[in-house]
Structure 1
Amino acid sequence: MELLLRVSLCFLTFTGKLLGDEIGVITVAVPKGSDAILPCSPTSKEDLSSQLFKWRKYYQNEVFLYNAGYHYNNGLKGQDSQFKGRVSFFQDLLSSGNASIVIQNVMLKDTGIYRCEFPKLQPRSETFQIKLVVKQFEREGSNVILPCSPIGKDDLRHHVFDWNRNDSEEVFLYDNGSYYHNGKSGQNEYFENRVTFFQDQLQVGNASIQINNTQQNDIGIYSCEFPHLKPQGQKFYIQLVVGTCPKPSFSIRKKLDGGMLVQCEAHGVYPEPTMELHNSADVPIDPVNITNSLNGKYINLQAVVTKEDEYHCVMKQEGICHQIYSTKTLVIVASGDDSGFFNGLSVGAGGVIFVVFLFALFYFLYWHKRKLSGMPDDRTNTRSEEETLTRLN
């Protein structure tokens, strides 16, 4: 946990831009229902044990306050009811300048811009801004609902709500009964005829939209804003992640000394997954090589298996498929004794052929020499002796 915090704080320090007494916004994105660490530390990294720092949302929602040992979790009053019992800090890290907080069980209503303030630092105060975003994972080609409602579940039929992507592209706008393609213009052409809303549910505060046939080009951070409702500053954020999860394939590549080289691979997969090779007991096999493409849409794992068994690939991916498996495949691995036996047979057969060849060559040379020297054929002599005996008789 401490290592994660230090990495987060380093990211905050080196990517934030000083704007007067404020630091540029840093984004923290987590899946719905998980805990979120909002990192914060003054540039001086000074001991905060006797200092004052506070966290606010929308400039008025009191999220957390620490004042020289006193805080909302040990008696201080004033914390917003939305955050009571859900926010903690790292007391043992205050001496190293860590004012980070943890928000438990993050929901859509928790998303937005948070301010971490050090009002009494010298020579001047400092303020950091963190954007908390909820991740939403969807499969490519599906119709996706992006949920949104104001805090008070107000009747929205005569109000305004506005959906944007990446704070620059107009996705959907509703304004007192008018909306895109019904009296309103300005929608980004990429979203034309693809976005609908739930008009019959506006009276119960439902400002959700549906994006049809989502593609990976729809990936981004979407914001849903109610500019005129109270409390002010109601703007919620969803990071839409559109992914694919094809089934991984298993193949046997070639025989090696003492084993078989096998491979797991998957094409067109997003977000970037991890890959493992498991045996029949579901125990991972150490890989010899893992390759990921630059765009994160291809992964390849190779391993050497040394025992006969059934093996399968396990691909793990955040949010979309979680885990997906290849078909189990039996891999037969020849033992060292078997290979020695077959090698011995090969050597023995080669020796027999060589001996037969030498015998045939000797036999040919022997009879060829007899013919050249005029020596009679033994078979002819035998016939002559038989003829002589016949005549004598």
Structure 2
Amino acid sequence: MFIHRVSSTDMELVLLISLFLLTANTFGDGTGSDVTRLIVKEDDDAILMCSFSESIIDNMFDWKKQEDKKKEVFFYNKGKHYNNGRSGQDEQFKGRVFHFEDRLKSGNASIVIRKTQPVDSGNYTCDFPLHSPPTPTYVELIIRASPKPYVTIINATKNGRALLECSVEGASPEPVVEWMDGAGNILHAEEPEVTKNKEKENSFNVILLINVNKSDRYTCVSTQEKIDHQISNKIYVPINASGGMSTAAGGHIVGLIVGLILGLILL
């Protein structure tokens, strides 16, 4: 567990770097600079790598988050930094960002952000202000929140139609949500209702409805194209020959209602 001054043995450092390499890749940003893309699961720690060619114990390094207004993430200057009295750190990162003090001698200016949230997603730079010319390091941090879709029958009619709802709450990055039939065909559905999650900044809620008129196993698929991630959930809709919902489905709905009533009585 990381504390205010993050230290590690050689073996621990190897494990941290290995974890970083498994979740990061590097690409160009179109300006000739390399950008490391790091994908981290929500609530996990993120290690942002940065290094210098010599000891930085008596040097200076500065981590910023590049937004409309740059945010101060972590600043180190000859032993003084945000975790030992220096002021100026953005509120978003207070008490959550630490450096590897025992690795400064080898030029390691990496930092760790603890318990990441979707709001931490963005572009970061590590710079050495005393070095000329500037040699910044660029990191794109993506916090992945991929909740499993919740699927349910919200309305069933006697004419053999059922209205299905798929709900995805708190996903980041924003997902594309689709309904598929049992054969894997994408079904035409209503336009999804997409809203920003009020509890978690930079995450989204998506609701997608669809009308179906035949018995089948339907799948709701949530795809986050930016991070090549996909998750789904299935529901079986039984419609009998007369065009109504089968006894099994009706019994399921009745059971839910009875359960709710019993729950209210107990309360």
User: Does TM, normalized by the shorter one, top 0.5?
Assistant: yes
- Pick one of 111, 135, 139 that aligns with 1:234: 135
1:164 corresponds to 2:64: yes
Q: How does 1:54-65 map to 2 (within 5 A)?
A: none
Distance 1:185 1:339, change over 3 A: closer
User: Take 1:314 and 1:339, find their aligned partners in 2: how far apart are those partners?
Assistant: 27
Aligned residue for 1:273? 175
1:241–1:263 distance in 2 versus 1, CA, 3 Å: same
Mark the CA change 1:208 to 1:339 in structure 2 (over 3 Å): closer, same or farther.
closer
**Residues 190/274 of structure 1: CA separation in 2 closer, same or farther (3 Å cut):** closer
Task: Please show how residues 222-301 of structure 1 align to structure 2 within 5 Å.
Answer: 222-230=124-132, 232-255=133-156, 257-293=159-195, 297-301=204-208
Higher radius of gyration, 1 or 2 = 1
Structure 2 Cα separation of the partners of residues 229 and 35 of structure 1? 23
CA distance in 2, matches of 1:246, 1:329: 17
Matched, 1:331 2:232: no
Output one character per residue of 1:136-161: Cα deviation in whole Å (capped at 9) or x when no partner: 333332221112224xx333233211
Question: Which position in structure 2 is the counterpart of 1:315?
Answer: 222
Q: Counterpart of 2:13? A: none
RCO higher in structure (CA 8 A, sep ≥6) = 2
Matches within 5 A, 1:81-120: 110-111=34-35
Measure, in 1, the Cα distance between the counterparts of 2:239 and 2:37.
45
TM-score when scaled to structure 2? 0.67
- Deviations along 1:265-317, one digit per CA (max 9) or x if unpaired, are 11222221111112333332221342212556211112223332222211112
C-alpha distance after superposition, 1:3-53 (max 9, x if no partner): xxxxxxxxxxxxxxxxxxxxxxxxxxxx844565x3xxxxxxxxxxxxxxx
8 Å Cα contact 1:144/1:214 also seen in 2: yes
Displacement of 1:189 in angstroms is: 4.2
1:174 aligns with 2:76: yes
| Structure 2: unaligned runs, 5 residues or longer | 1-23, 198-202, 245-267
User: Tell me, what secondary structure is at the counterpart of 1:288?
Assistant: coil
Q: Distance in 2 between the 1:215 and 1:156 partners?
A: 30
* Greater share of residues in helix: 1
Q: Quick one: which amino acid aligns to residue 224 of structure 2?
A: Q
Structure 2 residue corresponding to 1:154, chosen from 54, 64, 82? 54
Among 101, 104, 123, the residue aligned to 1:199: 101
Aligned ranges 1:364-383 → 2 under 5 Å: none
Shift of 1:210: 0.6
Structure 1 portions without partners, runs of 5+:
1-30, 39-56, 58-62, 64-108, 112-133, 341-393
Question: Match of 1:325, as an amino acid?
Answer: S
Partners in 2 of 1:297 and 1:32 — Cα distance?
25
Assess if the C-alpha contact under 8 Å between 1:266 and 1:299 holds in 2: yes
Aligned partner of residue 105 in structure 2, secondary structure? helix
Task: Go from structure 1 to structure 2 and tell me whether the alpha carbon gap of 1:306 and 1:210 turns closer, same or farther (over 3 Å shift).
Answer: same
CA distance in 2, matches of 1:173, 1:236: 14
C-alpha distance 221-35 of structure 1, shift in aligned 2 (>3 A): closer
For 1:66-85, list aligned pairs within 5 A.
none
Find runs of 4+ consecutive structure 1 residues off by over 6 angstroms.
none
Identity of aligned residues (%): 34
Report the CA distance between 1:196 and its aligned residue: 0.9
| 3-state SS of 2:123 partner | strand
